[in-house]
């Protein structure tokens, strides 16, 4: 056969496979408002940057008439590509081919591209849209999942791993996304659960829809499994691209530095924080008043909203911001916000992203619910994550910093590099009202006018402790600064911390309370 003919044969074979599961299956996919796997890969990556591998892979199922079935690409597309010029590896499950179910070869294609990503030290993006373990391939499918989980774990902290849920992701399959760093979901399209509605009905006799059980909103607001919520696949791709622009390719590099820009004048830092510690405000505006171009890319925006996390830039460099959010539960730390903070801090630390922490909180959330939900165990994660982090860590105490919350939010005592405080900062064991009631109880209850005495004692306590100067006198605060000076001081601090190098004792790994 001539090379020309061979080439024509290749083109024809390729064309055949590019049809995926065929017209009917593609129409069904589109009717559900979903793109095909190939459209997704092409739509997400830079133009003409996708190089596919293992297009001709064949499944190895031999039972239940599987040997008679053609499964193009074995239901998954894998390859390399670029986003904003940054190289990465990608796989996308093709639901039009056997429901994107995971058989042995499908899993091998995924593990091969994962190994490739780890070897090249570039981010890995996995687009999940699958009915789960391919039932006909039995234990081979389970083996495939196990091998993916193993690689997710090996790659953790070495390369960024991103999961995009664009269809069902059910049963044990959910654990690969759960092991990755960022999970993206799309309204009405993403479904994640361990046991589906039918099992729940059989075992528990309860009726629940897939959406209510594990839809995009549930995972963005309640479980915290998802980090980004989008209304459409297109919006989701934009979010992924933005994330990629903020993070480095791997743990031995820094994120790309962009041209520095000043914040917009519309975010005037002096006007954002009310002096009355009980008045709420949106801490995201403080971040916008500080960050380059007032740009802030929030992560887990809808989950544990009492704490805000996300990326901005300072002098062009990516910064991880962690901030208490006074407009939600007064910005307390609780079980969920502790998990949210700790995980983010650890990602930033693993990938050389400096941290800026903005503090304004009354402490940990009190109550039986929180105690029984394990606020001790979860709260400990924040202390651990900050203490182990060796990236530059800078704190700005805006207003309240009470009790354990003060210590947890990257205090000097957890070895923060630099701690600034605004003149409105109140650093104390607890709020003045609670403190006065405890230490002056006798004077208050025995006074002729207890209410007057209470007010007087609260004022006395406030005058003495509710300020930054007691902590500044002891060196727990490095500088008390004017709000308007915050960006200038932070830029300087980040510059001097460029050379930070903190050796840690030799150990296999720490034992973070989980
Ligand atoms: C083999 C599967 C499949 C699977 C779907 N298909 N899931 N084939 N193994 N797990 C096939 C269907 O037979 C069908 O083939 C095609 O994919 C499309 O599926 P439909 O059911 O027609 O699609 P839809 O109505 O949209 O329903 C999607 C679905 C449903 C909700 C995902 O297919 C479903 O419930 N599938 C089974 C889910 C499941 O229980 N998976 C195992 C989970 S346990 P044809 O040829 O008719 O087009 C698991 C363990 C992993 O994953 C453990 C790891 C540790």
Q: DSSP labels for 385-430?
A: HHHH--S-EEEEEEEEEEHHHHHHTT-GGGT-SEEEE-TT-EEESS
Tell me: the pLDDT tens digits for 71-107? 989 999 999 999 999 999 999 999 999 999 999 999 9
Asked whether residue 318 is domain-assigned, the answer is yes
Of 509, 412, 507, 416, which Cα lies nearest the Cα of 468?
A: 412
Testing ligand 1's pocket by substitution, the residue of 132, 146, 166 carrying the most ligand atoms inside 8 A of its CB is: 132
Per-residue CA distances from 38 to 18, 100, 106 (Å): 8, 13, 16
Q: Identify the domain containing residue 33 by its residue range.
A: 3-246
- Provide CB contacts within 8 A for 240, sequence distance 6+: 44, 83, 125, 162, 164, 184, 228
Please tell me whether residues 129 and 204 are part of one structural domain.
Answer: yes
Name the closest-CA residue to atom 33, ligand 1. 131
Q: Residue 143 Cα, ligand 1 centroid: separation in angstroms?
A: 18
Measured distance CA(362)–CA(364) in Å, rounded = 7
User: Whose CA is closest to atom 55 on ligand 1?
Assistant: 172
User: Which range scores top for mean pLDDT: 368-377, 429-438, 442-451?
Assistant: 368-377
Residue 233 resides in a domain: yes
Based on the domain organization, do 79 and 206 belong to the same domain? yes
Q: Are 79 and 125 in contact (CB under 8 A)?
A: no
Per-residue pLDDT, 69: 83
Q: What value does the mean pLDDT take over residues 345-368?
A: 97
Quote the pTM value: 0.95
Please check whether residue 106 lies inside any domain of the structure: yes
Dihedral of CA atoms 93, 97, 99, 105 in degrees, nearest 10, equals -60
**What tens digit of pLDDT does each residue of 53-65 get?**
999 998 888 888 8
Looking at the structure, tell me whether residues 481 and 460 fall in a common domain: no
18 and 77 belong to one structural domain? yes
Report if residue 262 sits inside a domain: no
Residues 129 and 205 both lie in one domain: yes
Q: CB under 6 Å to ligand 1: residues?
A: 98-99, 101, 131-135, 142, 145, 168, 170-173
Q: How far is the CA of 203 from the centre of ligand 1 (A)?
A: 20
Residue for token pair 């499950």: 93
The CA 146 to ligand 1 mean position distance, Å, reads: 19
Strands 307-314 and 297-299: antiparallel
Domain count along the chain:
3
Q: Do 457 and 470 fall within a single domain? A: no
Enter the tokens of residue 194. 């361990």
Of 513, 432, 421, the C-alpha closest to 474 is: 421
> Cα Rg for the chain, rounded, in angstroms?
26
Judgement on whether residues 443 and 339 belong to the same structural domain of the protein: no
How far apart are the C-alpha atoms of 146 and 150, rounded to whole Å? 6
Same domain, 175 and 295: no
Residue 334 and residue 191 share a domain: no
**Residue 100 vs residues 91, 132, 173, 188, 189: alpha-carbon distances, Å:** 12, 8, 12, 18, 15
Token output for 305: 């909203």
| % of the chain residues with pLDDT over 70 | 100
Classify residue 281: in a domain, yes or no. yes
* 254 occurs within a structural domain: no
Cα 223 to the center of its chain, rounded Å: 13
25 and 154 co-located in one domain: yes
Atom of ligand 1 nearest to the CA of 130: 32
512 domain residue, yes or no: no
**CA 230 to ligand 1 center in whole angstroms:** 25
The CATH number linked to 60 is: 3.90.226.10
């Amino acid at each position: 056969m001539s090379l020309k003919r061979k080439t024509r044969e290749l083109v024809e074979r390729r064309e055949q496979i590019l049809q995926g599961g065929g017209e009917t299956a593609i129409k069904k996919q589109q009717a559900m408002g979903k793109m095909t796997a190939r459209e997704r890969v092409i739509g997400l990556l830079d133009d003409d940057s996708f190089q596919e591998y293992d297009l001709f892979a064949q499944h190895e199922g031999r039972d239940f008439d599987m040997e008679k079935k053609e499964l193009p690409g074995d239901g998954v597309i894998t390859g390399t590509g670029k986003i904003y010029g940054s190289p990465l590896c990608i796989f996308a499950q093709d639901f039009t081919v056997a429901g994107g179910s995971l058989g042995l070869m499908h899993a091998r294609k995924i593990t091969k591209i994962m190994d490739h990503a780890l070897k090249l030290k570039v981010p890995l993006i996995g687009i999940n849209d699958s009915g789960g373990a391919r039932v006909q391939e039995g234990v081979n499918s389970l083996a495939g999942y196990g091998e993916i989980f193993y690689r997710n774990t090996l790659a953790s902290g070495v390369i960024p791993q991103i999961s995009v849920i664009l269809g069902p992701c059910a049963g044990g399959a959910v654990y690969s996304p759960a092991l990755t760093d960022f999970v993206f979901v799309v309204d009405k399209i993403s479904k994640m659960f361990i046991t589906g509605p039918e099992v729940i009905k059989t075992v528990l006799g309860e009726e629940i829809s897939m959406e209510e059980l594990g839809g995009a909103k549930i995972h963005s607001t309640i479980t915290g499994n998802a980090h980004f919520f989008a209304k459409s696949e297109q919006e989701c791709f934009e979010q992924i691209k933005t994330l990629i622009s903020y993070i480095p390719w791997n743990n031995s590099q820094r994120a790309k530095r962009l041209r520095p820009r000043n914040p917009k004048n519309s975010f005037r830092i002096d006007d954002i924080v009310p002096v009355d510690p009980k008045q709420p405000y949106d801490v995201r505006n403080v971040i916008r008043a500080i960050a380059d171009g007032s740009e802030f890319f929030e992560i887990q925006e809808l989950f544990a909203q009492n704490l805000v996390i996300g990326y901005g830039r300072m002098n062009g460099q990516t910064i991880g911001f962690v901030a208490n959010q006074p407009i939600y539960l007064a910005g307390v730390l609780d079980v969920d916000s502790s998990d949210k903070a700790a995980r983010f801090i650890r990602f930033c630390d693993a990938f050389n992203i400096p941290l800026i922490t903005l503090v304004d909180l009354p402490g940990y959330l009190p109550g039986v619910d929180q105690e029984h939900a394990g606020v001790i165990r979860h709260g400990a994660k924040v202390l651990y994550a900050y203490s182990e982090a060796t990236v530059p860590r800078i704190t700005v105490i805006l207003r309240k910093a009470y009790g354990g919350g003060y210590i947890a939010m990257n205090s000097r005592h957890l070895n923060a590099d630099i701690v600034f405080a605004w003149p409105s900062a109140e650093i104390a064991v607890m709020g003045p009202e609670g403190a006065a009631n405890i230490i002056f109880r006798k004077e208050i209850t025995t006074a002729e006018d207890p209410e007057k005495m209470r007010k007087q004692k609260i004022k006395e306590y406030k005058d003495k402790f509710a300020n930054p100067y007691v902590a500044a006198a002891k060196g727990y605060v490095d500088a008390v600064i004017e709000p308007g000076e915050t960006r200038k001081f932070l830029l300087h601090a980040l510059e001097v911390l460029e050379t930070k190098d903190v050796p840690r004792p030799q150990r296999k790994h720490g034992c973070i309370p989980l």
